[in-house]
Structure 1
Amino acid sequence: MPRIPPNIFGAAFGWAGLAGTWSAAGGAGLAPQWIAQALLAIAAVIWVAALVAYLACALGHGVLRDDATHPVLGPFLSLALISPMILASTGIAPLAPATGAVLTDLFIVLTVIHGSWFTGQLIYGDYALDQLHPGYFLPTVAGGLVAAMTAGAVGQPVLGHVMFGYGVVCWFVLGSIILARLFFRPALPAALTPTLAIEVAPAAVASLAWFGLNGGKIDGVAQFLAGYGMLIVLSQVRLLPMFLRLKFTISFWAFTFSWAAVASVALHWLVITRPSGYIALAWIVVVAITVLIGAITVRSIVALAAGTLFPPRPAAAPSAAAPALQPQESVTGAREAH
């Protein structure tokens, strides 16, 4: 059995994000809601399959603890808990409100426990700045903001506001550290370069959470979030040459939920503000994100059949005890080569 990495859970997360975009289109009267529900069902099947495959591999190889504390892979385990929050709140709650709310709360609690443990592990463990990557947003930032979004969806606004604060403060703290690492340290290795797409997610998911808590109004907070979101989305254009050179791996799923969240926010703004031609623009957004996630799904199936989907397990990289700095010319060289 191949060593299945924790970022396998990104597939279900991405399909749940696509369902969210189609749900936003459905709410605006642009598409039938059954499409979103069908996509959620696919996400649920993928999540179950990923959970079974990952646990069989991790327990069989005895690497579950190692994965949880691994400086590269560790953050991705949180997706096993974050994705079910969306599935429960938007897939189950509309059909069985009490069951959906209970399951949503259960996974919110588990996400908070894991995020708190992960934060303590960062303090306790032996990590180095160069091991940091945007996937570190997942346990607390994505966990907190998705929890806020889903709590609002099941009618728990107080819990939603609490989790919104949890996620936003973690975003401010971790975001500054991650950007400092990306700005001033050597470039990420190719296997982790797709995680740069996760940079667009915090502002987008925070916007979706806030819309769910404030009744969908574009108020001062939504405008504030849109300002930073615009910066970080447009900055990704400069990264396109780097993305286009990458060899396809399972890490490409980092593009899916991140950009699906951006698409959902764009739809919300288009529907509320109604600029000229907004319906055509909305459909361009929906089709674009559907094609992106569909293409990554097809490439993943092809790579899985060819046995190339899962890259070799990444090394732990330099520990905190290793020399922290390299000569400036080495840093420059690494970036130019990348």
Structure 2
Amino acid sequence: MAESFPSTGPDLPSPTLSARLRELAAYLAAPTAGHLTEEQRALSLGIARRLVTTLAAELDVGIDVTALWDDWLAGGIPSAERLAPACFARGEEHRWRQQSAQSAPTVSPGTAETADGPPAAGESELSDTDRAFLALRIADRRRFDALGNPAIAVADLDPDLLRALLLDIAAWWLARDKGDGNRAAALGDAVRTTGEAQQSATGIDAEAKAYHATLIANGDLSAVAAGAIARHDWTTLVALAAAAGKRRYADMALALITAEAAALPVLLAPLRLDSAALAPLEASLAMLPARALAGDDAGSGATA
């Protein structure tokens, strides 16, 4: 007869093994659910790193960002639960736009939509609509780093998440300095100043509202939104839908990307688009691989 030994489970000699087993347990608990692909993981991690780097520089240029990120990679990002939705939304929007850029139809846009930058001082021929569109484009460019990688602009970050990340970075820096009193006071001031500066900053949400208001005043909202869909100009569509629905740009982007086809008319109802105008949007979203659908209990997309 085989002897029976009580099982206490395997020893967990390292955080790495422990994390792998937790990940496997989560997978076994829901094996048919959609899981992150390597691309999605890399995008979200890169977005998080760029945001942390930017915020650390806002607090104190002397912060060793490399050491900070290495420590957080090893031990975990303190505000991971709150940061994950923002990074995932930005990463999924980037994947969607990149895919569409490879297959977007050639449609002649208006004057503002072909411009490469803000109007020069003498370009008085630009209308208020053109200027509002250019301001939206400039705000969108700030959501990338110098190499064109997706990022989250400080002006676009949820204020509560901003404060949490700033406090996490400050706490890490103080721990490295053994709680230096002078530095603690300086960091506290920097956290407050950065938060106040964000309140007066103009990000993509503010520019979306301004562009939406201009189009409403001119009676052009539906036509411009339909044109954006035809061109696969998802930045403009998301901005107008967010402003019309009184939602943040990032929230609307994720809502559209994860929406079932039947939910799109409801999400975009304030834009007053007909069903034919939505067809290119539905087709584009259907082509996005590893897309998580809000109404799919079993998940959607490839496993990691």
Provide the TM-score with structure 1 as the length reference. Answer: 0.30
Provide the TM-score with structure 2 as the length reference. Answer: 0.32
Quick check: which one's helix share is greater? 1
Bigger-Rg structure (1/2):
2
